[in-house]
């Protein structure tokens, strides 16, 4: 099922020609209208008139989150404010918030790209889509809302929170597709149990989850508990919001909407391209954005481009699910640890619940990592011997995965905080 077959299945050669033309006009737009880029282009002596190959991209400067902050709020906009019809902002958990803007045409493209992703995941105009992402400055709620409307689906703009009411509405309104973070989907499964509602008896068939990292094991858990088929979708506000990439029904990587975004996968240290198929940092250049184009935006997200073609027929490159962020990688005793590695192990062990916290401390100048994991009631109240056996299994599996020793603490079900939006499962107490 395609939303725009002729674009989604463009022969690579035609796609690259289109990308080059769009890149040239984006460079012209930012070079003329955004002082930040004009200055950078001048400093680097970039003559964007001489761009005639996509490889020339490597001559261009990078854009970092800090550049957005330095130009807060409107300094990087490429159009006057009177042409802006929408503003979003990222919450800025670290440092100042960043602001992005959209023209009418940007909103049209955005809705269309989100509709593409919903359609690729299997949704149609017949679906009843419950959007449980926050509506507001966060791009998740409005981004998916406009896309689902563009698809022609019936949209329930419930926003996040008030989980019991979400479930009641899901039941009464016969929701067929749930859109939220994967952690909120798991919370819903828990609350359904508390409410004595069997998810398999609902009309729910699809889950469209994104906005935070999740593992394949978590997907299986959600699919099984909610009786749905879930797919991953990726985006970030600096580049547009949701709609940058999403899985088709094959669920073997996320197709990147390459006619609107030019991507590179670079070694985060050397900033040189990694070998094909290797993991690196995703760097994105927008090709059609009018209000807020970005050149070589360093996402900090780690992924790799999957080799081969997809049986679905789309020619857009596929990236693996996000494997972590360069800035959420923990360095424990010099070893690189990604929270997602820990999640994958925990989800695989019988008796552990899908809720955990990772605590990192420094004791006597040495890093210590403790994983708190909820366990099913029967184990928590079991004899010490059985508990100890489970702790040993978790420790052993984590040591094998990470190559370091990890402390493990079992906690009773429902003791760890649940998340309605993006989860934050790491508490790093070291003040490094
Ligand atoms: O989270 C946009 C979005 C909303 C995407 C709804 C998908 C669904 P930001 O708040 O700017 O925008 O956060 C962007 O979230 O750089 C990634 O680190 C992370 N992220 C987003 N989608 C995924 C995903 C939205 N599918 C940041 N898997 C990004 C892993 C994701 N991480």
What pLDDT, in 10s, does the model give residues 24-44? 999 999 999 999 999 999 999
CA-nearest residue, atom 9 of ligand 1: 236
What's the pLDDT tens digit per position in 195-253? Answer: 999 999 999 999 999 999 899 999 999 999 999 999 999 999 999 999 999 999 999 99
- Kindly state the average pLDDT of the residues 31-60: 92
Beta bridge partners of 335: 332
Q: Which of 295, 296, 302, 256 is nearest to 281 (CA)?
A: 302
Give the per-residue pLDDT at 96.
74
Report which of 2, 263, 285, 243 is spatially closest to residue 133, judged by C-alpha positions. 243
Asked if the bond preceding 134 is cis, omega within 30° of 0, the reply is: no
Q: What is the pLDDT of residues 87-125, one digit of tens each?
A: 999 865 556 789 999 999 999 999 999 999 999 999 999
pLDDT in tens, 171-198: 999 999 999 999 999 999 999 999 999 9
382 has a pLDDT exceeding 80: no
Query: What CATH number labels 1-325?
Result: 3.40.50.12780
Among 140, 209, 234, the mutation site with the greatest number of ligand 1 atoms within 8 A of its Cβ is 234
181 close to ligand 1 (CB < 6 Angstrom)? no
Residue 94 confidence (pLDDT): 52
Q: Which of 110, 106, 144, 142 is nearest to 127 (CA)?
A: 144
For residue 360, pLDDT over 80 is answered with yes
Q: How confident is the model at residue 48 (pLDDT cuts 50, 70, 90)?
A: confident
Could you tell which of 210, 233, 241, 300 is best to mutate to test the pocket of ligand 1, judged by most ligand atoms within 8 Å of the CB?
Answer: 210
Domain boundaries in the chain? 1-325, 330-431
Give the pLDDT score at 92.
56
pLDDT at 95: 60
What's the 414 CA to ligand 1 centre distance in angstroms?
A: 26
Name the architecture of domain 330-431. Answer: 2-Layer Sandwich (3.30)
């Amino acid at each position: 099922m395609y939303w725009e077959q002729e674009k989604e299945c463009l022969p690579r050669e035609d796609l690259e020609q289109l990308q080059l033309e769009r890149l040239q006009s984006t460079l012209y737009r930012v070079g003329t209208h955004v002082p930040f880029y004009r200055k950078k282009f001048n400093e680097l002596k970039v003559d964007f008139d001489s761009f005639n190959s996509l490889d020339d991209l490597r001559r261009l400067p990078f854009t970092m989150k800090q550049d957005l902050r330095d130009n807060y709020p409107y300094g990087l906009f490429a159009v006057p404010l009177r042409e802006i019809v929408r503003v979003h902002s990222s919450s800025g958990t670290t440092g100042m918030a960043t602001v992005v803007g959209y023209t009418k045409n940007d909103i049209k493209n955005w809705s269309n790209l989100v509709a593409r992703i919903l359609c690729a995941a299997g949704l149609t105009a017949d679906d009843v889509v419950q959007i449980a992402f926050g509506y507001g400055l966060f791009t998740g709620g409005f981004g998916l809302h406009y896309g689902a409307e563009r698809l022609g689906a019936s949209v329930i703009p419930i926003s996040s929170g008030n989980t019991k009411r979400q479930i009641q509405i899901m039941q009464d309104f016969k929701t067929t597709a749930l859109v939220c973070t994967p952690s909120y989907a798991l919370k819903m499964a828990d609350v359904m149990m508390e409410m004595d509602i069997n998810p398999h008896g609902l009309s729910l068939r699809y889950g469209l989850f994104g906005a935070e990292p999740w593992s394949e094991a978590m997907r299986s858990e959600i699919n099984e508990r909610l009786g749905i088929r879930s797919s991953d979708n990726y985006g970030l506000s600096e580049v547009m919001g949701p709609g940058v990439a999403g899985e088709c029904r094959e669920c073997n990587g996320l197709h990147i909407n390459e006619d609107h975004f030019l991507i590179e996968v670079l070694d985060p240290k050397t900033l040189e391209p990694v070998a094909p198929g290797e993991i690196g940092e995703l760097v994105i250049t927008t090709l059609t954005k009018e209000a807020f184009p970005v050149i070589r935006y360093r996402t900090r997200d780690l992924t790799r481009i999957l080799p081969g073609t997809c049986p679905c027929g789309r020619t857009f490159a596929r990236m693996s699910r996000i494997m972590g962020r360069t800035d959420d990688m923990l360095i424990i005793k010099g070893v690189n640890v990604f929270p997602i590695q820990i999640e994958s192990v925990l989800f695989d062990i019988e008796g552990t619940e899908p809720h955990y916290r990772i605590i990192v401390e420094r004791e006597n100048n040495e890093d210590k990592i403790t994983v708190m994991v909820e366990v099913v009631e029967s184990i928590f109240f079991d004899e010490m011997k059985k508990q100890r056996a489970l702790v040993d299994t978790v420790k052993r599996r984590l040591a094998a995965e990470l190559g370091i020793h990890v402390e493990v603490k079992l906690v009773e079900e429902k003791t760890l905080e649940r998340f309605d939006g993006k989860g934050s499962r790491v508490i790093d107490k070291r003040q490094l």
